[in-house]
A and B are shown apart, each in its own frame.
Chain A
């Protein structure tokens, strides 16, 4: 609460008076301009320059489409594009959820016994270094092309960051607090769920932020390898098709959609982590400087 009054000193200063609130609106507009202005201008200059360059140089659109071509391609194929995006979202979210559940679950298992950790964790690290593209065909053989294989690929790519982050978090509990639980005769289950897991939350959240973007990548890579055609292929499938047909403008539209999807996913997870940690952890508290 204290931080709130510190970040917006105008609020208490000019409360009630019309001049005060106008001043407040003015200053928040200024603030918005300060943060949004420069990148906005840079964006417009970049897009304008790109459009101008293509028009003046006469470059073939299949080599470098104009921004207007990309927008047009996206609008013309809007329904296809939407289906692709929707499919990829579904796969990425399911893979991501799976990586959270299994990543955190395995980390708890490993952290509850030093012996289990020592015997399994090295292999977990080795598995992490195997490029996902290398084992993707095996997954396709086992689970068949399509949704299942893609979800598993998205899951695998997000699983290890979740596992290792959670494990580090579970193993870095404050020593004094562990003593406290020990002295009050807490069972190891109580210590895990009342102390170690909540204390690991900042680490878990860091893992979530890594895994959520990886899950989108995993879903698209999965679609390259195991994507199915027909009415509802994902973005990865749409990209392979567009590139084989030299529909470069649509290819750009797909790529942009994929990155927007990744950004949206990340922002969502970021907001969730803020909500989870805001009441107690330093990393997500409002800072007092403006």
Chain B
């Protein structure tokens, strides 16, 4: 799994990708980056470094100003229509009037999947995130961490090939955050084809999760450095205290200062 970059398919390909907003702000400047099948890639950087803008372009919420961006060999807005992409935001975005199971199966319901199949898939993913007993609960009855688990379950329900996560653990406390990081890695490892793109401003989080880190710097937003994290999986709590971890954290922090 750590060796996927050499041979695997290119899931996302950016060439001289730029985004200039109408007011003249250069949010992203000439980014070249290839992301391959099975990777866990973190974009890390301070606010205003363009990581969210890159994300919006990959999801098709925003169009590139220049350069090319291909997602699974297609333009981003086309790729989204294949339903191979799933999203998790910082906000859990669960519908408050729907139960957990109805929230989780929303992507399937929007595609017209039958109720029976939805039920099966919901049980599968809720089992994966440990929320099976809360299927009939309403979102407000869940804690912050459980809401985020439900949100992740919703993303996984359609068996995505590309999982886009925009600071998903940003609003959680440190303890919950660390638990969810380990759970997320487990979920990712269960599906060797799934590629995860993860935006964060937390260097420790990035190092713990990634196979590769894209360090971004602001004004104008660009990828300052690409740093491999050649540490095998499974990774557990003990990884956070190894010298290796500290060393990679240092080099990421160094790259952020450019």
Would you call the interface of chain B mostly helix, strand, loop, or mixed? loop
Q: Is the CB of A177 within 8 A of B95?
A: yes
A280 at the interface (CB under 8 A from B): yes
With an 8 Å Cβ cutoff, the count of chain B residues facing the other chain is 22
Stretch at the interface among A39-47, A143-151, A182-190, A222-230: A182-190
Checking A176, A179, A190, A279 against B110 with a beta-carbon cut-off of 8 angstroms, the contacting residue is A190
Q: Is the CB of B138 within 8 A of A279?
A: yes
A50 at the interface (CB under 8 A from B): no
A23 at the interface (CB under 8 A from B): no
How near does chain B come to A102, taking the closest CB pair, in angstroms?
A: 24
Q: Is the CB of B95 within 8 A of A198?
A: yes
Q: Is the CB of B81 within 8 A of A185?
A: yes
How near does chain B come to A197, taking the closest CB pair, in angstroms?
A: 10
With an 8 Å Cβ cutoff, the count of chain A residues facing the other chain is 19
Checking A181, A190, A201 against B97 with a beta-carbon cut-off of 8 angstroms, the contacting residue is A201
Are A180 and B96 also in contact (CB < 8 A) when A185-B83, A190-B110 are?
Answer: no
Over the window 102-121 of chain B, the binary record of Cβ atoms lying under 8 Å from chain A Cβ atoms (1 yes, 0 no) is 00001101110000000000
Among A181, A184, A198: residue with most chain B CB under 10 A: A184
Would you call the interface of chain A mostly helix, strand, loop, or mixed? helix
Total A-B Cβ pairs within 8 A? 48
B175 at the interface (CB under 8 A from A): no
Complex CA gap A86/B40 in Å reads: 69
Over the window 255-290 of chain A, the binary record of Cβ atoms lying under 8 Å from chain B Cβ atoms (1 yes, 0 no) is 000000000000000000000000111000000000
A199-253: which have CB < 8 Å to B?
A: 201
Q: Name the B residues within 8 Å of A186 (CB-CB).
A: 110
How near does chain A come to B194, taking the closest CB pair, in angstroms?
A: 17
Of all chain A residues, the one with the shortest Cβ separation from B91 is: A176
Of all chain A residues, the one with the shortest Cβ separation from B81 is: A185
Can you list 17 A-B contacts (CB < 8 A)? A176-B91, A176-B93, A177-B93, A180-B89, A184-B83, A184-B106, A184-B107, A185-B80, A185-B111, A190-B110, A194-B95, A194-B109, A195-B95, A198-B97, A201-B97, A279-B138, A281-B96
The 6 lowest CB-CB distance pairs between A and B, nearest first, are A280-B96, A280-B97, A186-B110, A198-B97, A184-B107, A176-B91
